[in-house]
């Protein structure tokens, strides 16, 4: 029912995990996509997607390096024929330290990837979208946009910032036909949440708060991504939408 034929999309952090799930939704709906990641998984991922008839390009890029991410965006734009309709900022990193032991180098890197790069890429994409008077920017927030978490000071700070950045960008870009929204995934089964399953007590506490009784899967993000990337969401902007199995309302 959602047709993204002819649309051009860039998805960061799409080599694996939830970023890959979001990219899968876009290519299933017919978009031509560039998947960007620091991991070499990106090449395997694009090859597997192309087996299904999708038009997929892949780029390795270090989003913590400001020059490299600008080069990555410019390369993506070139691969997409000089046009971008959809930007999905899905890349993210996490480090776990008590606040008093947090190395400032860790603070700088996590904020750079999780927040500053989101702003930078959104700025670059918006420069292309404003003249065409249309575009979709989809950011990845987190449950930690709402909660402080424990020993994830930098991650929670960055994801709180993503939620506010989404609103701030929406206020400025909506007049130009660009919708900016964020998805706040719950606990999605991936390398970033694997430590929960390794701790039986923590895992039991987590599962007791998820009404659906299961962890999310990357494919659970496909539908919301397709919806926010399509014309069906043209009057939705500045929102942070949980995809969490009911975790927030428990």
The catalytic residue positions are: 155
Torsion of CA 184, 84, 39, 149, to 10 degrees: -20
CB 190 within 8 A of CB 16: yes
**Coil, helix or strand for 225?**
helix
Q: Where are the alpha helices (DSSP H) in 29-175?
A: 41-50, 66-79, 104-111, 117-132, 153-173
For 40, the token pair is 């070499």
For 92, the token pair is 């993210």
CB atoms within 10 A of CB 25: 25
Look-up: residue for tokens 């959602």?
A: 2
CA atoms of 237 and 8, how far apart (whole Å): 20
CB 123 within 8 A of CB 168: no
Closest CA to 184 of 145, 233, 236, 234: 145
């Amino acid at each position: 029912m959602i047709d993204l034929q002819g649309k051009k999309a860039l998805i960061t952090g799409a080599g694996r995990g939830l970023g890959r799930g979001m990219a899968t939704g876009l290519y299933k709906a017919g978009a031509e996509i560039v998947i960007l990641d620091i991991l070499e998984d990106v090449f395997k991922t694009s090859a597997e997607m192309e087996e299904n008839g999708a038009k997929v390009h892949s780029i390795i890029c270090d989003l913590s390096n400001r020059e490299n991410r600008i080069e990555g965006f410019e390369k993506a734009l070139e691969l997409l024929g000089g046009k971008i309709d959809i930007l999905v900022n899905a890349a993210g990193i996490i480090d776990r330290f008590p606040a008093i032991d947090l190395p400032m180098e860790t603070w700088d890197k996590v904020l750079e990837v999780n927040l500053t790069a989101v702003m930078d890429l959104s700025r670059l994409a918006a420069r292309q979208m404003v003249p065409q008077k249309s575009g979709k920017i989809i950011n990845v927030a987190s449950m930690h946009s709402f909660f402080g978490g424990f020993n994830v000071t930098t991650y929670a700070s960055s994801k709180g910032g993503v939620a506010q950045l989404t609103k701030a960008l929406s206020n400025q870009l909506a007049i130009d036909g660009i919708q900016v929204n964020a998805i706040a995934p719950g606990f999605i089964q991936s390398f970033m949440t694997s430590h929960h399953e390794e701790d039986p007590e923590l895992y039991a506490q987590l599962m007791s708060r998820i009404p659906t009784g299961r962890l999310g899967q990357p494919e659970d993000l496909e539908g919301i991504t397709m919806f926010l990337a399509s014309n069906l969401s043209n009057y939705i902007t500045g929102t942070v939408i949980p995809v969490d199995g009911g975790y927030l309302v428990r």
